[in-house]
Structures are given as structure tokens and as C-alpha cells.
Chain A
Amino acid sequence: MSTANSVKPKEQKKYSASKRYQKRSQGAEIWRRLKKNKGAMVGLGIVAMLAFIALFADIIIDFETDVIGQNISQRMQLPSRDHLLGTDEVGRDVFFRLLYGTRFSLSVGIVAVIIALVIGVVFGAIAGYFGGAIEEIIMRATDIFASVPHILMGIVIVAALGASTLNLMIAVGISSVPQFIRITRAAVLTVRHAEYVEASRAIGLREASIIFVHIIPNCLSPIIVQTTLRVASAIISASALSFLGLGVPQPSPEWGSMLSSGRQFIRTNSLLTFFPGLAIMITVLALNLLGDGLRDALDPKLRR
């Protein structure tokens, strides 16, 4: 230790480790606040259940027989004990198809948002931190991108790349990028001028370190909230594209395409459109409730 300086270290003393005083995690505090929000907890419960179904769908349900196995003699049945939500136009059990469809909806929603997150946060942070010409270029490109309607963007991409689950994820992901760029840039702008950023410069931190150590961790709250909400809209976009026949190909039980094929029978058996629609609605509602709850729980100003 350098002793040429003016502040001399104290004499040898036995200091105990900081292990004695546990760090009270900020995560625990956020969880406590989230728990108080009834709506958010309902949303969280539903999302957790859906995630569980999606993960274990293969074990519960036999794909061949229950999901795509056709049984024309059993077609168009109303809900009964054998088929909880009835059967569709080729005799497949609607309930099992919905359960299995959770996989597609959730996975498309999550992967699409991850794509958007990675691209959006990087560009948003660069734009927010450096400003000037770089910011102008990125933001104007974002504006142009955002001016194209989501569905149209999705259609173009899928038409170019072909209809498959992966391409659906890419299409929905890319159309969500502008939102993430904007949110990240706004968050970075707020944090960039904070005094603790100036303080870290005074200590001698390099610019790159400042971005990763101080700025991005403080921007996480709005990004996390946005992520949850975007998963909901990604699911809707994916369903819409599938409805148009551009998404997951038949006979996969994606909710949007179930809606689409049920359309022709809407007068005779409206349940075929009702149940998939209900599934989409419940999922999106749950995600929105959770997202709103997270926004409140993460807001540091909501103190006593």
C-alpha cells in the first residue's frame, strides 16, 4: 500500500468480514412490493401456469393422438366429459390443442421479444449515451421503421423468408425493435446526467465502464416493464399473422390459426373461435397485469 500520501492507514486492527451484515437484496424489496398488488399477483399466477403447461405439454399430452389425430366421426362436438371444450371440424379435441398451443404462443412471444430487446437496447443505449449525429441517425432510422404498421412488416418478412415458427419469431421481433430503442434511449438520457455518473468520472472510471457499471443497471426498470408488455403484444401479432396464414403452418395448434380455421364455422359452431380467442385474451391480460404491477414495484419513488 502506498504510504507516500497524506492520509495514512490506521494501525493494524482485526476487521471482520462484511459477511456479518448481509446485503439486503433489492430483488427482495421489489418482490415485497409486487406481492401487495393483487392484480399483478393474479397475472403472475396465470403466466406461471401457462409457462408450466408450455414446458410440460409434451408429457401431459400425446401429440399424435390428441393434438393432430383426426377423428371425423367425432367432429364438431359440443363440450362434454370426453372433450372438455368440444371438438373441431376434423374431430380434434379443442382443449388439448389449446393447451399444446401455449407452447407456440409463449415461445414466439418470448423469443421475439428477446430479439427486439438485444437489438433495441444496444442501439438505444448508444443513441442515448453519445448523442449528436449518432443519436440523430439511429432515431430517425427508428422513426422510419416504426412508421410501417406491425402487421405489414410481419407480412413482408414472412413472405420473404417463408412461413415457419422461426420466421414468425423474427418477423414479430423486428417489428418490436423501435419501442425498445426509444425506451432505452429515454432511460439513458435521464441517467446520463445524474451526479453519480459525474462522480464516477471524478474517480477515474473510463466511459465504457461507466455505461456498463452505472448507466445500464439504472435503466433496467423501464426496460423490464416494457419487456413484459411487449410479450403480450408479440403474442397478439403472432396470432394475427397466423390468422392470415403466414405463421406457424398447419396442423400445429397455434391459437391464431385455430381462430382462422374456426372462422368458416362461426355460424354453426362459434365455440371454435371463442375458445382460442379467450385463450389469447387471458394470456395478454395476465401479462399486462404483471407488467403494470412490475412498473409500480420498480418505481423507486413509490416509497413510504
Chain B
Amino acid sequence: MSNKALEVHNLKKYFKTPRGMLHAVDDISFSIEKGRTLGIVGESGCGKSTTGRVILRLLDPTNGEIIFEGRDISKISQRELRKLRAEMQIIFQDPFSSLDPRKTINQIISEPIIVNKIIKSKKAIEERVLELMETVGLAERLINTYPHELDGGRRQRIGIARALAMNPKFIVCDEPVSALDVSIQAQILNLLQRLQKQYGLTYMFITHDLAVVNYFSDDIAVMYLGQIVEKAPAEDLFENPVHPYTKALLSAIPIPETGKKPKRFLLKGEISSPINPKNECRFSKRCSFVVEKCKNSCPGLREIKPEHFVACHLV
């Protein structure tokens, strides 16, 4: 029995737009082992959020395989999918819009339990809700409050409690702390870590914040315009970044320390369009090291060191 919680092969998601075919996710492959965290990092438009949703089949893939616990779920029916919902869940970025404003905390957290008929008795459901609230650090007295009465940090805890309600094995965390204040971010990150250790959860952690992803992930995949440009264990990525985009990304992080800082890798220009991309390296227009080959073919992901993959012609 494989110890991989999730394997993704050649996943593609294209959207049809009036201006052409938008390649949101373009042929990515990766795997995550049980109990570990894969961080997916990138800026807006790189396709990381779309990836998260396609893996959970909230969006249907255009092509590719999604192998969850040894089973390909990329093409199974909605009915079959519903049976799997208990195992794979998602925590959303925006704690304001991911909770129904007309439902109480009790109703929000108990909904997955009721819908999937996991527990039948009303009393037992309530006990489970209180248990979950305690696990995520929500005071018991809040059980009948509405989301708008609470702050962002507490709302995010509700989202986490809801995701845990069905005892999932795999959770996609889509920028779970980006909308929160710094001190609350730290509280939530600690909570997520504790839950992972306690319940052996596998996380796919999507974020644009490199400091957070470094802290939180075992392995990191860097995405740019729908493709993975570098993938390595977290320590390795930060100490030896190879891809020019990764280097630029890392050097762009403002460091909260005084003193002289290493010279920045500044990128030129802006991100290009993901619509009808040509057969070239998508990063070539902004790369300081571009050569002729980069404009003629799109580099594939290659293993240059054990567990360290890069998509670049110059390596």
C-alpha cells in the first residue's frame, strides 16, 4: 500500500474565454506523502488556487490524473465523489465570504455531519460540534453566534472546524492566513500544525507568502503561469534556489532586520498572459538570463538533484 496520500499526473485545467484558451493549470505533476505538507507558492495568476480546487473536483480537470489514496478520482461521477468528500476537505482564504452569513456557528460546523449522515442523533451532533469548537479554540458560548459578530481569526477557526468535522485525511489550505492580522496568523498557523501532528493530516498549503510557506511545509512547489518551475524540500529550496523566478521571489521578501541586505534580484516587467501561450519558456520575457533557446521551447521539469526539480533550459 503506497504511502502517498495524493498523486497528480499531467494535470491540466483550461478555461474558454472570448479571447482564447486560458491555461490556468498547464501540465503539472507532483505527489504528497501521508502526514506531510506540500506548499504551493506563487503570485496571483499562477494557478495555485485553481490547482487546489481541481484536485478536490470543485472544478473538473481538462486532462490528467488525480490519484487520491491509490484511486483515480479525476473522472468519477459526482455521486461517487460525494462519498469521498469526508476524506478530503478545504479551508478557504476569505473567512468573511466562506461562511454563510445567515447560519450560526452551530449550523455551519454541523452541516457536513448532517448532510453526510455521519451522526444521526441531535444530541450527539451537538456534542461533536462542541468538541470541534474546543479543538480549534472557539469558546463554547459562541455556539449560536453569527459570523458577522466575530473577527477574522475566529471566523477562520470556524472554517477549520468545519473542514475537520468529517475526520478528513487530506486538507487543501487555500491561503488560510493571508486575510488575517500578523498576530492572528501566527495563532492559526500554530493551530494547523498542532492538528497535523495530532491527527496525522496531509496538507496542501497554498500561499503567496514565502516566509509562511517555509515555516509550514516539508516540500515546496513554485508555480508560475500554470506550471511548476521548481520543486524541492523546503530547506533545499531556500538555501539553494535554482530557477531565476524562485531566486527573484526569495530576494523580494522584505526581511524584518536591520543591516545591509544582499542585492535584490529584481524582475523586469509584468506577468504575461496565460491565454494561448506560445511554445516558449513562460518566464523568458522577465528573465535576466534569457538565451535564444528559451524563446523557442518550453522547458520541462527535470530532477537535477535528489528530490530537487527545476524547469529551466539553463540548468
The chain A residues found within 8 Å of chain B, CB to CB, are 1-2, 5-10, 13, 15, 17-18, 21-24, 26, 194-196, 198-206, 209, 214, 217-218, 300, 303
Contact = CB atoms under 8 A, between A and B. Distances in A.
B228 interface: no
Given A203-B115, A204-B85, A204-B112, A21 B144 contact: yes
B82 interface: yes
B199 A204 contact: no
A203 B146 contact: no
A22 B85 contact: no
Contacts of A209: 115
B173 interface: no
A10 B148 CA distance: 29
A21 B99 CA distance: 20
Given A5-B167, A6-B167, A15-B126, A195 B111 contact: no
B143 interface: yes
B126 A17 contact: yes
Nearest to A206: B82
B200 A198 contact: no
Nearest to A215: B100
Contact of B169 (A6, A24, A205, A217): A6
A26 B146 contact: yes
B99 A300 contact: no
B20 interface: no
Nearest to A196: B100
**Nearest 10 Cβ contacts at the A-B interface:** A5-B167, A204-B85, A23-B144, A7-B167, A195-B98, A203-B112, A195-B97, A196-B100, A204-B82, A7-B199
Contacts of B81: 204
7 contacts: A1-B124, A5-B169, A9-B128, A15-B126, A18-B143, A18-B144, A24-B146
Given A1-B119, A10-B134, A202-B56, 7 more contacts: A5-B169, A6-B169, A18-B126, A21-B144, A194-B97, A200-B100, A204-B116
Nearest to B98: A195
Contacts of A203: 85, 111-112, 115-116, 162, 166
A15 B106 CA distance: 14
Contacts of B128: 9
B140 interface: yes
A17 B140 CA distance: 10
Given A24-B145, A201-B58, A202-B56, A218 B101 contact: yes
